[in-house]
Structures are given as C-alpha cells and as structure tokens.
Structure 1
Amino acid sequence: MTYGWNSKRGAYRQPYAVDSLRKLRETGSEWIALSFYTHQANTHATEIPFDYGYTMTDRDIEFAVKEAKALGLKVCLKPVVNSADGIWRAHIGFPEEAGAEPYWNAWFRSYTNFLSHYAELAEELQCEMFCIGCEMVKTESKAEHWTALIADVRKLYGGPIVYNANHGAEERIQWLDRVDVIGTSAYYPVANEPGDSEEAMIANWLPVREKMAKLHARFNKPILFMEIGCRSALGCATMPWDFTHTELPFSEDEQANFYRSVMKVFWDEPWFAGFFWWDWSVKLYERESAGSNVGFDIYGKKAEQIVKEWYAKPKAMKELKEA
C-alpha cells in the first residue's frame, strides 16, 4: 500500500495514523510506500525548497517507519517533488535546446540534493527500498543526469533503488538498467465502459502484461507496479488515474473488478515484484462510511476483502533480493 500521501507535517504521529497503519497491516500487505512531497514554485523552477509549513519532517518520517516496522511491514521511502502551480510533475523541465542546459544542470543539482537527504535518512532508518523519482516524464530523456544522480544516491543508500515511471512512458527510458527495480504507475484504462466486467478488464490487462514482460526482458529487472489503483466510482476503471470527477456515483464493484482482474493476470509472473496500491489514507473514514466513499481507499469495501484473500495465499512471488 501507498501510505502517507497528501498528509501535512505531524500527521504521521497522530493516534489516528497509528490506527490506520494497523488496519493497513490487517489487509495482509507486507510493504508500504511511505510517500510525501515538497513543492517547487512552478514547472520551470530550478530550486526545490523545504517548506516547514507542510512538508514531512524527518521526525515524522522516522516515527512512521518505526511504527511500520513494529507491525512487520517493510518500507519503500518515496520522496516526491510536485509543482506548486498545480501542473502535473511530469511537465517539470526545460526546453530541449542548448541555451536551456544551465537550467537543467541547476534543477538536477537541486533535485540530487533533495534526494540525497532522504537517501541518507532511508539508510539510517534501514528502509528496504528507496524510490528516486515519480512520473518525472519530461526529465527522463536526460540520461547522463539520471545516471549521475543514481551514482550519488548509491553512495548514501545501500538498498534496492526503484524509479516510478508513468504508464505508457516506461519503454522510452534508456537508463533503467541503472536501477534495481523498474516501477510504473499502472493506471491503465482497462475498462471499455463504466461498470465493465472483470472478464473485460482481464482481456485488457493481457497486452499490458506482454509489454511488461518485454520490459523485463530488455533490462533484466523485476517489474513493480509502484502505483496502481482505481476509485470506487462508476467509470473510474476507464480512467484509473482520475481523482477530479467527484460527482460520479459510488461503485465498489468496478473497483473490485479492477483489483481482482489485475491480481489474476500478474500474480504468478516470476518477473513481477508486486503492487503498491494507491492508496491508504493516514486518517481513515469511519467504516460505516465506506458505502459512500468514492475515493481510492479500499477500507471497508469489496476491494479490501479481495486484497485480504489474495494476500493470504501462499506467496508465488519471491522476495526482492537486497542489492
């Protein structure tokens, strides 16, 4: 499960967060992606600041990691940079022309410093994995910069490194041989229409599986769905990434079909490393409210039971090896 997203500083240390983490563990999940963010001013800014007003502090992160480990959960630390102007982080970057190179250099210098802080923290807290970026699509062509960044991170963190590509963009990244695990945000639109069946979704997952198998064969790295999920709202399996259409009617069946279909298609693939479902809130709604909640959370919904049933099975997937 992804845990921690969109939470303000201090939230991880609240009693409701501890209770939420315990309920997350009861799903049978073995890992969390502890995901938090800071903002750069806009998509063309070259400096990535730390905003004490909302960005998680190291004390927050340490508390969450220790609580997770006490529950037997492994942790992938996932720091993310967003753009304060609201534009998707995939657009962070600069024009592809000679005059823009100083800006690229400045941004990667700042981003490397940002990541280095958390790589050092991940090492100190013995996090089992570290994510070096999420859906940074416009930056991905800068292979030399990413190669140097990864080398710097490895000086500070000794565990497995993953990069979180965006669905549909995985094959364009040339430097994935440098990471230990290839991650992707697998928000593939597998429903043909609102309320589509599990069988229809399975049929649409099969070509995705073929594409992921080829990606594994190309780089010889495990494939991880670093983000995957679908809201419990009618039509959301046609656009699993969506969080804006809050007017859509509740449909836990569509969410459940999405979950069960991808489990069936990927579970037994030897090159497939697993799922980080999006997402599990730090502050959960009351269980009685699950029948009206149209968000990504599965707490109290049919998809939660599906996860529990599948995660209770004997594990066909091998543990990720330590780097």
Structure 2
Amino acid sequence: MRINPLLLLIVLLQSCTAQVKKINGVSYVAHRDSITQKNIAPLLNINANYAAIMPFAMIKDLAHPVVNYDKERQWFGETLTGGKQYINTLKKNNINAMLKPQIWVWKGEFTGFLEMTTEADWLTFETTYSKFILAFAQVAEDTNTEIFCIGTELEKFVAARPEYWSKLIKDIRAIYKGKLTYAANWNEFEKTPFWDQLDYIGVDAYFPVSDSKTPTIEECLKGWAKHKETLKTFSEKYNKPILFTEFGYRSIDYSGKAPWTVDRVESKVNLDAQVNTTKALFKTFWNEDWFAGGFVWKWFINHDKVGGLENNRFTPQNKPAETVIKEHYKVN
C-alpha cells in the first residue's frame, strides 16, 4: 500500500504537537463562593490551560475511619455542586480540569500517616472513602473532566491496603471514562503499586534541590539532576508520562531545601528564591517528552486580595514568580 507523503507529514506533525503541548496548570483552591468570569481572568492572563479542582473531605484524626464530605457547613467549592460549577465555568473559557478530591485531617495532620488500628475500622474507612471518591468520579464524568485524581498523599493507606486500591480503580473506571492519576508525595511514588492501572504517574514534586538561603538557578538545576533521572527511568519502566500533580515553592529563605514545609513561620520573604526555584523546575522538565506538565501550588480565586510582595507562602500571585509562570506557559 502506498502512503501519501503529505498525509504522513501531517500525522507526524500532529503527533509532535501532542507530545510538546504541556499541562500548564494551577491548583485552584476551593472557596466559599461560586466562581465568575472575574475569577477566571487571572488564569487566562497567565496562559493556564488546566486547573486542578480540589474538593475536601474531613476526617477527625489519623485513625478515625469515617470520611465526611459534601456537608452543608463546607465551602461551596468543596461540594459536589460546587465542583461542577467550577469545572463548567473553567470549560467555558477553554481551561481543562483535573478533579482532585482530597482528605483534610483536623488540625492539619499529614494524610500520609492515615492508618486504622483494627480491621473493622479499615473496612469502614474504605467504604466511606469509596463513597467520597466515586461521588466525585461521577462529577468528573458528568462534566467531561479530562483527568481524575483518585487520591493525594495517602502513603500508609496505599501500603496497607493495595487490593482495595486496585478494586477502587476498577470501580472508578466503571463510572468515569477519562484519564486517571494518583498524587503521590515526592518520596512515595516509587513505592506506589498501581501505576500500571493509571494513565499518568502523578507526583507532588516537593523534591529538595538546594540548601542555599537564596538558591541560584544553576544550584537548583544540579539539585534536580538525580531526581530527574529517577523520574525519567520510572516513566520508561511503566511507559507512562510523569505529571506533577503539585509543584511550587514558597517565597521564603531556603525555599529549595525542604519545599514541602507549610509551617506558618515568619521567616523573611525571599522573592528571588521563589523565582529561581521555579525557573529551574521549568527548565529541567518542560521540554521532556516523558513529562506531561503540572499544577502550580497554589492559586486562590480572589486574585487581587492574595499573595503580594510581603507574602512568604506558596502562592505566586502578585509576585515576580507569577510573571515567570505567565511567560513560560505562553510558549509551552
């Protein structure tokens, strides 16, 4: 059979484009209110093409087996109705979505330590977690959401109950026809047992890359070298792209030393540290074929009232790092 050379060229070009185009996303924090065009405009301004919608369920403590979600006391953006409204409003502006339902443990304890003490509690936990996840999987299906994240940083839960997770994935796929991922913490993903059942290898990318007070781009690039090789090898092992389900840095001294730190410390604001670490991450990953893109942590809907030059938290909003993201997303 003779192949039309022009048709072959078009197919090859389309294939290359599909590989090059990245998920240029933000982690869109749920709010008490619905979102409007005013809330979407800042996303369009930074050239974002994806947003992670993050409804939370609540658990009383790390050994409590009941997952509570979609309650009247919760903010609108954390509910089933709110998730639909956020996603549909984004889609009207050609911004795709990853629906990423998560657990919040009271007092802010780390979800990776969630672990039940009896078999009965494990079964209750699994039942209520499944109800939570499958309810939002239906939201994802109803809204034609592009990506659904089945869990976030649940290391002990995953390690203790691998059979449950395999069944949960099958149950999700019976409802939802889009792409699946799981958001593994940066030091967890190599131990996660079910990547072969998902579409993306999701990593919350808080890898340590520099011990300097104000890390330079060059220092961060060197710091990324070992992690990058590990991620590339892991992607090749499963023949699946790496997706940074979260990435970002605080505008604070030593931002690259322990990027996962969320303590409300009053350390000096360091905008250059946030800029340099962000630039190095983009330079390290965004041109790699095996890398799908990622979601900046984190982005609030009331853009004009958050972040700023005196803020040392993660958000890049109204800081020099926002310009870095805007310029990078424009060409990727």
TM-score (norm. length: structure 1): 0.89
- Equivalent residue, structure 1, for 2:43: 24
Matched, 1:54 2:78: no
Give the distance between the partners of 1:36 and 1:242, measured in 2 at CA.
22
- Equivalent residue, structure 2, for 1:128: 146
Give the distance between the partners of 1:85 and 1:53, measured in 2 at CA.
17
Give the distance between the partners of 1:284 and 1:308, measured in 2 at CA.
14
Matched, 1:244 2:271: no
Q: Shift of the alpha carbon at 1:173?
A: 1.2
Give the distance between the partners of 1:4 and 1:307, measured in 2 at CA.
15
Match of 1:290 among 308, 313, 316: 308
Q: Shift of the alpha carbon at 1:85?
A: 4.2
Matched, 1:173 2:192: yes
| Inter-CA distance 245–237: structure 2 relative to 1 (3 Å threshold) | farther
Give the distance between the partners of 1:124 and 1:118, measured in 2 at CA.
10
Q: Shift of the alpha carbon at 1:11?
A: 2.1
Q: Secondary structure at the match of 1:187?
A: coil
Q: Shift of the alpha carbon at 1:303?
A: 1.3
1:93-112 counterparts in 2 under 5 A?
Answer: 93-95=115-117, 100-112=118-130
Give the distance between the partners of 2:242 and 2:201, measured in 1 at CA.
5
> Any stretches of 5+ residues in structure 1 without a counterpart?
316-323
Q: Secondary structure at the match of 1:11?
A: coil
Give the distance between the partners of 1:112 and 1:286, measured in 2 at CA.
36
Give the distance between the partners of 2:223 and 2:295, measured in 1 at CA.
20
Letter of the 1:80 counterpart:
Q
Asked if structure 1 preserves the Cα contact closer than 8 Å seen for 2:55 and 2:83, the reply is no
Letter of the 1:70 counterpart:
K
Letter of the 2:109 counterpart:
I
Asked if structure 2 preserves the Cα contact closer than 8 Å seen for 1:2 and 1:34, the reply is no
- Equivalent residue, structure 1, for 2:17: none
| Inter-CA distance 86–303: structure 2 relative to 1 (3 Å threshold) | closer
Matched, 1:226 2:245: yes
Letter of the 1:60 counterpart:
G
- Equivalent residue, structure 1, for 2:288: 269
- Equivalent residue, structure 1, for 2:133: 115
Match of 1:74 among 96, 112, 117: 96
Matched, 1:310 2:310: no
Larger Rg: 2
Matched, 1:189 2:211: no
> What do residues 173-216 of structure 1 show as CA deviations (whole Å, max 9, x unaligned)?
12111111111110112122211211000001111110101211
Aligned residues: 304
Letter of the 1:34 counterpart:
I
Give the distance between the partners of 2:108 and 2:147, measured in 1 at CA.
28
Asked if structure 2 preserves the Cα contact closer than 8 Å seen for 1:216 and 1:223, the reply is yes
Q: Secondary structure at the match of 1:278?
A: strand
Asked if structure 2 preserves the Cα contact closer than 8 Å seen for 1:24 and 1:280, the reply is no
Q: Secondary structure at the match of 2:196?
A: helix
Match of 2:165 among 122, 141, 146: 146
Q: Secondary structure at the match of 1:279?
A: strand
- Equivalent residue, structure 1, for 2:180: 161
- Equivalent residue, structure 2, for 1:318: none
| Inter-CA distance 57–91: structure 2 relative to 1 (3 Å threshold) | same
Q: Shift of the alpha carbon at 1:285?
A: 4.1
Percent pairwise identity: 26
Give the distance between the partners of 1:128 and 1:34, measured in 2 at CA.
12
Give the distance between the partners of 1:207 and 1:19, measured in 2 at CA.
41
Letter of the 2:254 counterpart:
G
Asked if structure 1 preserves the Cα contact closer than 8 Å seen for 2:55 and 2:79, the reply is no
> What do residues 109-146 of structure 1 show as CA deviations (whole Å, max 9, x unaligned)?
21111101000011001111101000001111221110
Asked if structure 2 preserves the Cα contact closer than 8 Å seen for 1:128 and 1:159, the reply is yes
Which consecutive aligned stretches of 4+ in structure 1 deviate over 3 angstroms post-superposition? Answer: 1-4
Give the distance between the partners of 1:160 and 1:185, measured in 2 at CA.
18
Letter of the 2:81 counterpart:
R
Letter of the 1:101 counterpart:
E
